[in-house]
Amino acid sequence: MENNLIFVKLGGSLITEKSAPYTINYDAIRRIVKEIKEAIDAKQDLNLLIGHGGGSFPHPIAQSFRTIEGFIQTNSVRGFALCQNAASTLNRIVVDLLLDYGVDAVSIQPTACCIAENGEISDFFIKPIEASINNDITPIVFGDCVFDTIRGCTVVSTEQILTYLSKYIRPSRVLIFELVGGVYTADPQKDKKAKLIPEITVENFSTVESYLGGSYSVDVTGGMLKKVKELLKIAKRGIECEILSGQSGNIKKALKGERGLGTIIKPITLFN
Amino acid sequence: MENNLIFVKLGGSLITEKSAPYTINYDAIRRIVKEIKEAIDAKQDLNLLIGHGGGSFPHPIAQSFRTIEGFIQTNSVRGFALCQNAASTLNRIVVDLLLDYGVDAVSIQPTACCIAENGEISDFFIKPIEASINNDITPIVFGDCVFDTIRGCTVVSTEQILTYLSKYIRPSRVLIFELVGGVYTADPQKDKKAKLIPEITVENFSTVESYLGGSYSVDVTGGMLKKVKELLKIAKRGIECEILSGQSGNIKKALKGERGLGTIIKPITLFN
CA distance A263 to B7: 50
CA distance B258 to B261: 7
Which pLDDT score is estimated for A187? 83
Residues A248-257 pLDDT 10s: 799 999 999 9
Please answer whether residues A56 and A17 qualify as being in contact, where contact means their C-beta atoms are separated by less than 8 angstroms: yes
Substitution target in A47, A76, A106 with the highest count of B β-carbons within 10 Å is A106
**What average pLDDT is seen over chain A?**
93
Which pLDDT score is estimated for A214? 60
In 10 A of CB A152, how many CB atoms? 18
Residues A114-129 pLDDT 10s: 999 999 999 999 999 9
Query: Cβ A88–B107 below 8 Å, yes or no?
Result: yes
Model confidence band, residue A272 (pLDDT cutoffs 50, 70, 90): very low
**Mean pLDDT, rounded, for B47-63:** 96
Residue A255, helix vs strand vs coil: helix
Q: Give the nearest chain A residue to B75 (CA atoms).
A: A104
In 10 A of CB B238, how many CB atoms? 14
Q: Give the nearest chain A residue to B124 (CA atoms).
A: A125
Q: Could you tell me the CA-to-CA distances from B154 to A159, B72, B223, B231 in Å, in that order?
A: 31, 11, 17, 20
**What average pLDDT is seen over chain B?**
93
One-letter amino acid at B27 equals: D
CA distance B167 to B137: 20
CA distance A161 to A121: 7
CA distance A21 to A83: 12
Which pLDDT score is estimated for B188? 84
A96 to chain B: which residues are within 8 Å by CB?
Answer: 85, 89
Query: Cβ A111–B128 below 8 Å, yes or no?
Result: yes
Whether B122 and chain A come into contact, CB under 8 Å, resolves to no
ipTM score assigned to the predicted complex: 0.95
Residues A81-101 pLDDT 10s: 999 999 999 999 999 999 999
Q: Which of A84, A95, A135 sits opposite B152 (nearest CB)?
A: A135
Residues B233-256 pLDDT 10s: 999 999 999 999 998 799 999 999
Q: Which of A75-84, A118-127, B14-23 has the lowest mean pLDDT?
A: B14-23
∠ CA A167-A173-A179, nearest 5°, is: 110
Q: Give the nearest chain B residue to A122 (CA atoms).
A: B127
Query: Cβ A106–B84 below 8 Å, yes or no?
Result: yes
pLDDT at A218 over 60: no
Mode of pairing for the β-strands spanning B5-10 and B47-52: parallel
**DSSP H helices in chain B:** 12-15, 26-42, 58-65, 76-100, 110-113, 127-134, 158-168, 205-212, 224-235, 250-255
Residues 137-166 of B with CB under 8 A from A: 137, 146-147, 152-153
In 10 A of CB B21, how many CB atoms? 14
CA distance B180 to B14: 9
Query: Cβ B146–A128 below 8 Å, yes or no?
Result: yes
Residue A35, helix vs strand vs coil: helix
Phi and psi based region of residue A209 (left: phi greater than 0; alpha: psi -120 to 50; beta: remaining):
alpha
Please answer whether residues A15 and A52 qualify as being in contact, where contact means their C-beta atoms are separated by less than 8 angstroms: yes
Query: Cβ A107–B88 below 8 Å, yes or no?
Result: yes
Which pLDDT score is estimated for A34? 97
In 10 A of CB A64, how many CB atoms? 13
Handedness of CA A43, A44, A46, A49 (dihedral sign): positive
Domains of chain B: 5-265 (3.40.1160.10)
Which pLDDT score is estimated for B216? 59
Please answer whether residues A105 and A99 qualify as being in contact, where contact means their C-beta atoms are separated by less than 8 angstroms: yes
B84 to chain A: which residues are within 8 Å by CB?
Answer: 106-107
Substitution target in B83, B104, B109 with the highest count of A β-carbons within 10 Å is B109
Beta-carbon contacts below 8 Å between A and B: 122
CA distance B108 to B138: 10
